Amino acid sequence: MNEYIILSLVLYALGMYCLATKRNMIRLLLGIEILINAANINFISFSRAIPGFIDPLAYSIVTVSIGLAASVTAVGVIILVYAHRHYGTLDVRVLKRLRG
């Protein structure tokens, strides 16, 4: 089980790295997907904590959370499309008009 926790922590770190360094707006949305998937992997790996028993709670949680992640990304993509219409680019550095 430890391997899975390490994997999910690495995924979480990767997602945060993606959010901190990437400039493309689509990549930022993918970074959020990576963060949520890190948590999902954790849930699935913990569901086998007791030998010989798989907890259905974790599976239902993960199913719902995948749906939620999809809806967040959908809203993100809609906003991204409008941002592209206003700015003509997907570079997030251009979105800096709001200041102070």
Partner 1 sequence: MFSLPIDTLLIFAITTPALGWLLERVKRANLCGIYAAIGLAIVTWEILYMKVPLNSGLMFIDQLGVFMALAFSILGLMACIYSIKYMERDEAIPLFYSLLLLMIAGMIGCVFAGDMFSFFVFWEMMCIASYTLVAFRREKWEPVEAAFKYLIMSSAGSASILFGMSLVYGMCGTLIFNDLYKILSNVSNVWIYVAAVFIFIGLGIKSAIFPLHTWLPDAHSAAPSSISAMLSGVVVETGIYAICRIGFTVFYGIYNQWMEIIAILSIFTMLVGNLTPLLQTDIKRLLAYSSIAHIGYMLAGVSTGTILGLTAALLHIFNHAIMKGSAFLCSGMILYRLETREMKEMAGIGRKMPITAAIFSLSLFSLIGMPPLNGFISKLLLVMATIEANMAWLGAAIIINSAISAAYYLRTIKALLQPISSKKVEEAREGPIIMLAPLLILACLIVIFGIWPDGLIEFAKSAANVLLRG
Q: 63-99 b/e with 16+ CB inside 10 Å = b? A: eeeeeebeeebeebeeebeebeeeeeebebeeeeeee
**Type of residue found at 73:** T
Is the separation of the CB atoms in 40 and 62 below 8 Å? yes
Minimum CB distance to partner 1, residue 92 (Å): 8
Q: How far apart are CA 88 and CA 25, in angstroms?
A: 12
User: Binding residue for partner 1 (CB under 8 A) from 6, 10, 66, 68?
Assistant: 68
Taking residues 2 to 31 in sequence order and writing x for each that binds partner 1 by CB under 8 A, - otherwise, the string is ---x--x---x--xx--x-----x--xx-x
Which parts of this chain interact with partner 1 (CB under 8 A)? Answer: 5, 8, 12, 15-16, 19, 25, 28-29, 31-32, 35-36, 38-40, 42-43, 45-46, 49-50, 55, 57-58, 61, 64-65, 68, 71-72, 75-76, 78-80, 82-83, 86-87, 95, 97-98, 100
